[in-house]
Amino acid sequence: MRLITSLIGIAGLSFAILAVAQEQQTASPAPEEKPSTTVEQATAPSPETTTTAKAPEQTPAQQKEKPAAPAANQKRPVAAKAPSSPATAPSKNMSVEATLKNNENRWEASYGAHDSSVAQSFVANDFAGVYWDGRVMNKSAVISEIKKDKDTYKSAVNERLAVHTYGPSVAVVIGTAHEKGTTKDGKPFDRAFRFTDTWMQRGGQWQCVASHVMKIKG
């Protein structure tokens, strides 16, 4: 009987051990499921961060670019208003006056620079003029005077130019040329000339066809 009871006790212990082992096995998977939930929670916020990152990148850039285009378009018409400000509506008379005054100023300045190319361009081939000392001059004589001049000029400018037009292609310019400097001998000079130049437009270019010069100072 003792053997039977001992065997029964041993069998009961084995069953108890098996039951405890089963309980441990069933209890062990429980903590394995917990990390899976934590992984799911960690991965869940990632799409939210991507969506929140995309939203601010698109909206501010588009909002800034759209107003920039009309701003540039608004500035361009402002620059286009500039030509309407000067009083250049009477283009014929004003353009002739401005052109001939510019020609006279360049011609006078060429004497101070000893540059005969300006006279070569402005003086007509059939030019006829009277020099300040009474000599009658043609184009070649005018250019020769510029080349022979050995004076050193401090200034050579025109004063009080007046343009009188006679039709679309003929104009007369009356003015005063004022020159200062030293002669080739080193003597200072301060002289002025009153001149009357007749200009004619030929082939789209204004040329001086006649001139009269008179010394009024120096």
Say which DSSP state 187 is in. Answer: -
Higher per-residue pLDDT: 58 or 44: 58
Q: Which two tokens stand for residue 202?
A: 């030929």
CA dihedral 197, 131, 189, 112 (to 10 degrees): 60
116 and 50 part of one domain: no
Residue 132 lies in a domain: yes
Q: Which of 33, 48, 77 is the last residue of a domain?
A: 77
213 and 166 part of one domain: yes
Helix (H) or strand (E) holding 202: strand 188-202
Is the model's pLDDT at 93 over the cut of 80? no
Q: Please state, in angstroms and rounded to a whole number, the distance separating the CA atoms of residues 116 and 143.
A: 6
pTM over 0.75: no
User: In which domain, by residue range, is 211 found?
Assistant: 97-217
Neighbour order of strands in the sheet with 205-217:
136-137, 123-130, 205-217, 188-202, 170-182, 152-165
Higher per-residue pLDDT: 186 or 54: 186
- Could you tell me where the DSSP H helices lie in the chain? 2-27, 29-43, 45-80, 91-113, 117-122, 139-148
72 and 114 part of one domain: no
Higher per-residue pLDDT: 39 or 122: 122
- Mean pLDDT on 28-43: 40
CA angle centred on 53, ends 50 and 59, rounded to 5°: 130
Higher per-residue pLDDT: 55 or 212: 212
Q: Which of 77, 105, 131 is the last residue of a domain?
A: 77
Residue 188 lies in a domain: yes
Higher per-residue pLDDT: 112 or 85: 112
pLDDT at 95 (0 to 100): 86
Residue 218: pLDDT band (50, 70, 90) is confident
Is the model's pLDDT at 70 over the cut of 50? no
62 and 149 part of one domain: no
50 and 126 part of one domain: no
113 and 212 part of one domain: yes
**How many alpha carbons fall within 13 Å on the CB side of residue 146?**
20
Helix (H) or strand (E) holding 28: none
User: Using an 8 Å Cβ cutoff, are 156 and 115 in contact?
Assistant: no
211 and 112 part of one domain: yes
Q: Which of 77, 106, 121 is the last residue of a domain?
A: 77
Residue 46: pLDDT band (50, 70, 90) is very low
CA dist 198 → 80, 142, 158, 183 (Å): 38, 15, 16, 30
- Mean pLDDT on 89-113: 83
57 and 122 part of one domain: no
- Mean pLDDT on 68-77: 42
128 and 47 part of one domain: no
Is the model's pLDDT at 76 over the cut of 50? no
pLDDT in tens, 198-207: 999 999 899 9
107 and 173 part of one domain: yes
Residue pointed to by tokens 């309980």? 23
pLDDT in tens, 119-160: 999 999 999 999 999 999 999 999 999 999 999 999 999 999
Residue 85: pLDDT band (50, 70, 90) is very low
Is the model's pLDDT at 51 over the cut of 60? no
pLDDT at 73 (0 to 100): 44
